[in-house]
Amino acid sequence: MRVLLIRHAHAVESDSLTDDVRWLSVHGRKVARAVGLRLRDEGFIFDAVVSSPLVRAVQTAELIAIGAGYTGEVLATPALAPGFSARIGSTAIEGLGESVVVVGHEPSISQLAGFLVGVTPGGALKKGQVVIIEDGRIAGSIDPDTLV
């Protein structure tokens, strides 16, 4: 199984918004689109794209899916919302296919990476960063800072 773990892209900052409704900033949208295009260019094909239900994560997932040429539905699950355990997140992606994109938040997305490879996470993912896990090992990463 291949899992592409992605931290949501940059969101707007506002004291008047609750965390769950913050949307992607202009820069965040550029990063998400660029990540999708890079995944397409590298030949990635997905069976599923699943996201935290928070606005910025769903928008990130949708823009990546569009850029990558994925035509299926983007699924949102509370199991990937901030604060949920890696074990719950892992269970949520079981059975979705052989190649799954997962968009979430820190620190949960890094904890999920560690859970899937059986090690303690080494650090936080950057906003928009992709970590590629194949057959229980880290097979690569895409740094969003190199894309925009």
pLDDT in tens, 24-54: 999 999 999 999 999 999 999 999 999 999 9
Within 10 angstroms of residue 53's Cβ, the number of other Cβ atoms is: 14
pTM: 0.96
Which two tokens mark 122? 């080494």
Provide the pLDDT confidence category of residue 123 given band limits of 50, 70 and 90: confident
pLDDT in tens, 64-77: 999 999 999 999 99
Domain positions in the chain are 2-146
Strands 99-104 and 48-51: parallel
**DSSP annotation of 50:** E
Calpha distance 136→115 (Å, rounded): 9
Q: What are φ and ψ of residue 38, in 5° steps?
A: -65, -40
What's the one-letter identity of residue 90? S
Element (H, E) at 130: strand 130-134
What pLDDT is stored for residue 4 in this prediction?
A: 98
Calpha distance 28→74 (Å, rounded): 18
Classify domain 2-146 at the CATH superfamily level.
Answer: Phosphoglycerate mutase-like (3.40.50.1240)
Q: Are 64 and 103 in contact (CB under 8 A)?
A: yes
